[in-house]
């Protein structure tokens, strides 16, 4: 491999719309051009928990993430290696975890709440993108996700939002907003707004990054 991949970090709080932003962004590239590594798959296993234990367990702390494993896998991708990672299902008993194979590519995307807080990861990023969202909008998105996709109860979601999510965002993510080269406001429910933003960024990547990233076997 002749050149180091270009590493993009995408950070945003819960409900910021990172997932939709990433989906739109990835649509502009082929699987050989970009790879994605998500912080969500690096939580330490917590075993079986009761509903009450799950409600009280704070997933929104850096200590819940296997940062050493996360950093190693990012470094392996940068070195041109593939990584295998078991999908994390947030203790959802109905979800069957997949074994994920992430292959290196000219563009590597790392996304998650703490990627800017973890100094070792932040130093590997060539471009930092911050997804900024009003709290009320983010909460509605969080409710929709956790109630329908993860099977949580509304009072559990609200407990976590007030006691875990918002404090973690203010302490472990918001202070790094000023360090990001791109800050994207995502309060809209209009898909075209985000699509146009990802089109502009992907065009910039094609012009300035991909032509220089030629890989040899």
The span from the CA of 121 to the CA of 114, in Å, is: 9
Going by pLDDT thresholds of 50, 70 and 90, the confidence category of residue 91 is low
What's the whole-number mean pLDDT along residues 71-96? 84
- Does 90 score more than 70 pLDDT? no
Going by pLDDT thresholds of 50, 70 and 90, the confidence category of residue 98 is confident
How is 112-156 classified by DSSP, letter by letter? -SSTTTSHHHHTT-SEEEEEE--HHHHHHHHHHHHHHTS---HHH
Structure tokens at 38: 């998500």
- Does 10 score more than 90 pLDDT? yes
165 against 152, higher pLDDT: 165
Position 1 scores a pLDDT of 42
Going by pLDDT thresholds of 50, 70 and 90, the confidence category of residue 57 is confident
List Cα–Cα distances, 70 to 47, 154, 169, 183, in angstroms: 20, 31, 20, 24
Tell me the domains of the chain and their CATH numbers. 6-210 (3.40.50.300)
């Amino acid at each position: 491999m002749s050149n180091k991949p270009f590493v993009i970090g995408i950070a945003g709080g819960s409900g910021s719309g990172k997932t939709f932003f990433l989906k739109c962004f990835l649509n502009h590239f082929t699987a050989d051009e970009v790879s994605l590594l998500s912080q969500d798959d690096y939580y330490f296993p917590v075993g079986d928990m009761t509903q009450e234990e799950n409600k009280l367990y704070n997933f929104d702390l850096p200590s819940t993430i296997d940062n050493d494993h996360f950093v190693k896998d990012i470094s392996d991708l940068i070195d041109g290696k593939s990584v295998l990672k078991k999908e994390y299902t947030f203790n959802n008993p109905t979800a069957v975890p997949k074994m994920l194979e992430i292959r290196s590519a000219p563009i590597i995307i790392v996304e998650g709440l703490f990627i800017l807080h973890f100094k070792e990861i932040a130093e590997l990023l060539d471009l930092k993108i911050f997804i900024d969202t009003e709290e009320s909008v983010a909460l509605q998105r969080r409710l929709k996700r956790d109630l329908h996709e993860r099977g949580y109860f509304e009072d559990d979601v609200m407990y976590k939002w007030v006691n875990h999510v918002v404090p973690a965002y203010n302490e472990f993510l918001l202070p790094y907003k000023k360090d990001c080269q791109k800050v994207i406001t995502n309060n809209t429910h209009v898909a075209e707004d985000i699509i146009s933003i990802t089109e502009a960024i992907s065009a910039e990547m094609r012009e300035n990054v991909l032509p220089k990233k030629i890989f040899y076997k």
